[in-house]
Amino acid sequence: MNIEVDVASQLFPNPFTMAFTLLVTAVLFFFIYKFVFDPARAMIQKRQDLMAAELSDAAKAKEEASIDREKAKEEIFKARDMASEIIADAKLKADETKGEILKSANDKADDMYRKAKDRILKEEKEMREGLNDEIVDVALEASKKLLGDKDLSKQDEEAIDRFIRELSDE
Amino acid sequence: MSSEVANVYAEALLSLAREEDKILAFKNEIKAIMPLFDSEVIEFLATYNIDKSLKKDVMKMAFKDLSVELLHFIYLLIDKNRIRYIKEIFKSYLLMANEALKIKVVEVVSARPLKEADKKRLLEALKMKFKMTIELEEVLDERLISGIRVKMDDQLVDVSMAHKIEDLKKTLKESW
């Protein structure tokens, strides 16, 4: 059986088929490109952007954290300095107050001592004067009693004379 | 307040006395009856519950020889409920009357009653000094021991033994 086949014609592509195949391939490629590659690429880009943003945020946060840590350190130093100042002031004030209290207590003690001394001297003086007054009072009361027992009409007359003299001298 | 009331009534009485020419007579009568108005009598006369006519009858019986004007003056004080101020009124009147009559009242305090001769000497000296009629008001106070204490207006002259002793006492106490 002889099969006559035009091998030569079979060896060369059919231009129509080839064109059709190329067209179909191009269409297929177009669709694949349009509906698979683009979204995949966009997704990858988006993912890259997200990762970049997250990395940037992380770096920023790290930087901020670093700044905050520095600030915190500064605050701690400041607080420590302030605490030292407060303690120093408090100590100074406590020393001053202590000095004042001691001075006041000393002054009061001195004052009390002086007053007590004055009182003792005053009482001593009063006692001495009182004794003197007592002597004078007793002596003069005795003289009154002696005078009271006498007839003093003469003294009355003399007193009237003295009064009249004083009256005319005025 | 009481001195204002007393002055008003005393002035009224003095005005009446002037009209009647009885300043001295009223003065003498007042001096005589004033000691009788002690706190009990005044309390009786000032009590609201006792009838005023009864109070007036008591006054009329007590002061039979008193001049009608003075008796009516007391009645007036009873009617006006001013009898409580009678002593102040009489005192004010005596001061005003002395002023009107140009009489100077001199209080002489002594340990014993003054002799007439001494009184006379005192009166003459005072008359000579003040050129006024002098009225001596004698007060006895044994504490003076001897001598006299004379009070004229606001002036006080003390020539008593008690005063001398007090002076001596003061000097001794100060110099001791």
Residue B167: its pLDDT value, please? 84
Residue by residue, pLDDT tens for chain A (170 residues) are 566 666 666 777 778 888 998 999 999 999 998 898 888 999 999 999 999 999 999 999 999 999 999 999 999 999 999 999 999 999 999 999 999 999 999 999 999 999 999 999 998 888 877 777 777 777 777 776 666 666 777 888 888 888 888 888 77
Q: Distance (Å, rounded) from C-alpha B131 to C-alpha A17?
A: 179
CA-based radius of gyration for chain B = 20
> Which residue carries 């007393």 as its tokens?
B6
Domain segments of chain A as ranges: 12-169
State whether B129 and A168 contact (CB < 8 Å). Answer: yes
Q: Distance (Å, rounded) from C-alpha B153 to C-alpha B144?
A: 21
The ipTM, to two decimals, is: 0.71
CA geometry: angle at B122 spanning B120 and B124, to 5°? 70
Work out the minimum CA distance from B81 to partner chain A, whole angstroms.
46
B146: Cβ contacts below 8 Å, ≥ 6 apart: A147, A152, A155, A156, A159, B111, B160, B161
- Which of A69-83, A143-157, B19-33, B43-57 shows the lowest mean pLDDT across its residues? A143-157
Taking alpha carbons only, the member of B74, B51, B52, B50 closest to residue B62 is B74
Residue count of chain B, please give it. Answer: 176
Measured between beta carbons, which residues in chain B are less than 8 angstroms from residue A136? 169, 172-173, 176
Q: Which residues pair with B108 in a beta bridge?
A: B138, B150
Q: Choose from A132, A135, A144, A156 for mutation: most chain B CBs within 10 A.
A: A156
Taking alpha carbons only, the member of B116, B106, B107 closest to residue B140 is B107
State whether A148 and B160 contact (CB < 8 Å). Answer: no
Residue B129: its pLDDT value, please? 87
B138: Cβ contacts below 8 Å, ≥ 6 apart: B108, B110, B113, B114
Residue A149: its pLDDT value, please? 62
pLDDT in tens, A84-133: 999 999 999 999 999 999 999 999 999 999 999 999 999 888 887 777 77
Strand runs labelled E in chain B: 103-110, 133-140, 148-152, 155-158
Work out the minimum CA distance from B76 to partner chain A, whole angstroms.
44
A156 → closest Cβ in B125, B128, B146: B146
pLDDT in tens, B123-145: 999 998 888 889 898 999 988 88
Three-state DSSP at B157 gives strand
Whether B149 contacts B109, CB under 8 Å: yes
Percent of chain B residues past pLDDT 70, beyond the cut: 98
